[in-house]
A and B are shown apart, each in its own frame.
Chain A
Amino acid sequence: MNYLEFEEPIRQLREQLAQAKELQEQSDVDMETLAQDLESKIREVTESIYSNLTPWQRVQVSRHPDRPYTLNYIDALTDGNFMELHGDRTVKDDKAMVGGFGFMDDQCVMFIGQQKGINTKMRQYRNFGMANPEGYRKALRLMRLAEKFNRPIVTLIDTPGAYPGLEAEERGQGEAIARNLIEMCQLRVPVICIVIGEGASGGALGIGIGDRVLMLENTWYSVISPESCSSILWRNWEHKKEAAEALKLTGTDMQSLGLVDGIIPEPLGGAHAQPDAMYKQLKKEIKKHLNKLVPMDSDKRIDQRIRKFSAMGVVNS
């Protein structure tokens, strides 16, 4: 288990609980009451910490090292009935973007999402969840495949941004993202996009045009990360907390601005504390939305999707 600095009280209580349990095993001292006390205290403290998260703390939770990543979700949602499909058919297979058909109960869904790695080696292999143009082109290829066989699409967004490398520029990172935006607007099958971790900028939006755009409770979605925003506007990295506040990047803010359609609650202590409860909740939400979207007429669904994005923005007229 990894703990964020504001989770310190939870860590201490968990440690005490572990000690109590160990003591009980080693001696015959009855620790049952103490253990129960500690458990209820853990719940209480977790609840109080997690019900008052600042925007910056939410950003930290969204990057929590124990948090489930895209393939964890897909595996749980499909109970392993998933086949990953590789490659953009042009340049290569981008390991930062994954996708494939999976069966959620009896329903076949095309899952697509950015993938982060769980350790140093895997983080490099997945390029920290930062896709290159071929990742976005793979995503579009798979969306077209889903459209051809009339399967709904679910995208899981978790990226610190599209990769800003030299080869990414050579191969048209801007064009790849732009192409996805315009093509996703006209996809004839239902599209649900869910921010499961970090939703940074065009790199997130590149798989983010859908009939429903949802955010898990402890995630963020904005045009830039708080750190980069701080370094550009304040000229140093020290103002990331203020930047996180100013950017209005939480689910609640994004929903009240009309930029996302809903927030999916996370279990107590965040998705990483109780992943199984998170998977169950997410599955319930996806099915709920698919039940509404699948029977709709395609033209009507596309029309609604375009109207929704067309209405975004605030101006004085």
Chain B
Amino acid sequence: MGWFKRIQEGITTKSTEKKEIPEGAWYQCPSCKTVVTSQQHVERMSVCNYCGHHDRIGSEGYFKILFDEGKFREIAPKITSSDPLEFEDTKTYTDRLEAAKKKTGLSDALRTASGELNGMPVVISCMDFQFIGGSMGSVVGEKIARGIDHALKKGCPFICISKSGGARMMEAGLSLMQMAKTSARLSLLSKAGLPYISVLTDPTTGGVTASFAMLGDMNIAEPNALIGFAGPRVVKETIGKELPEGFQRSEFLLEHGFLDAIVERKDLKEKLAFSLRAMGDFPKVQ
């Protein structure tokens, strides 16, 4: 549930960095401070060439990397969040949604698309962290459900790339039940013998970790991604001690048995293709 604080921090860090580097032309790695041109950064899939730091990217980036020739057809692109609870805290939810749409140009925190990966038909859902911390509301759940339904119809694999602070508080109970909804649809995919690969990226926490992100036939993460149920701040408050180095990072999860593999972004497409081939020939004729 820590997305809110992180966004705030994100904004602050960004503005201080802006003073040092002219926006647009340059990218400075937050980890090793190496500066490259923005163009180089994008060409390297937003991964630092020097220290391997994986910069956060969204659905646009992942779709471009994974779909053959970057070609895909988006599923249910037009559905948007309504505000059934008329939620208001210091701002109204409607205002928050409008601001997020304006800032990101996205309609919500996840997009689903169908296309081909190394010639194999696949459906990919991908979260966008910039949209209210990648939080899961009704739209995220619905778009995952539609993606799974499409995979079921086509007899093809489903991949979900997670990047989320967890539940969307402004949808309260509705948000909580998206965990149930996505799990229910995944149980049908599993019954049909179709592969589901979960790709966990930085950060994946809360209700997303406690539902579809941990339910892959294979769980694959990018290096050094923060992955957990409770956010590190909450865990720290609970135990009243400093957290050990590397706590809740991909490597920590792999050592504790919750990931099948850690894969660098440059190898992601190839490893996904290998995994899907290992699980069968798709589309599966019904």
Contact = CB atoms under 8 A, between A and B. Distances in A.
A168 B258 CA distance: 13
A295 interface: no
Contacts of A209: 180, 183-184
A306 B188 CA distance: 9
Nearest to B81: A315
A276 B5 CA distance: 46
B90 to A, nearest CB: 6
B173 A232 contact: no
Interface in A191-243: 201-202, 205-206, 208-209, 221-224, 228-229, 232-234, 239, 242-243
A185 interface: yes
A173 B229 contact: yes
Contacts of A243: 89
B190 interface: yes
B212 interface: yes
The interface residues of chain B, by DSSP majority, are classed as: helix
Given A223-B172, A247-B173, A316-B79, A179 B167 contact: no
Contacts of B230: 162, 164-165, 168-169, 173
Contacts of A165: 230, 235, 238-239
B176 A249 contact: no
A313 B173 contact: no
B190 A315 contact: no
Given A224-B167, A315-B81, A259 B215 contact: no
Contacts of B256: 170-172
Interface string A237-269: 001001100111100011001010000000000
A251 to B, nearest CB: 11
A254 to B, nearest CB: 5
B82 A221 contact: no
B74 interface: no
Interface residues of A, number: 57
A310 B176 contact: no
A99 to B, nearest CB: 20
Contacts, number: 202
A145 B169 CA distance: 35
Contacts of A234: 89-90
Interface in B187-217: 187-188, 190-191, 206-207, 209-215
B157 interface: no
Contact of B184 (A175, A185, A242, A247): A185
Contacts of A178: 179, 183, 209-215
Contacts of A53: none
Contacts of B126: none
Given A175-B258, A232-B4, A222 B172 contact: yes
A309 interface: yes
The 10 closest A-B pairs by CB, nearest first: A164-B230, A313-B138, A174-B209, A181-B183, A174-B229, A233-B89, A223-B176, A173-B229, A177-B210, A312-B177
17 contacts: A162-B210, A164-B234, A166-B238, A168-B230, A169-B229, A175-B214, A182-B186, A202-B179, A202-B206, A202-B210, A205-B177, A223-B169, A223-B173, A223-B207, A232-B169, A246-B172, A313-B137
Interface of B: 1, 4-5, 76, 78-82, 84-85, 87-90, 137-139, 141-142, 145, 167, 169, 171-181, 183-188, 190-191, 206-207, 209-215, 227-230, 234-235, 238-239, 243, 247-248, 252, 256-258
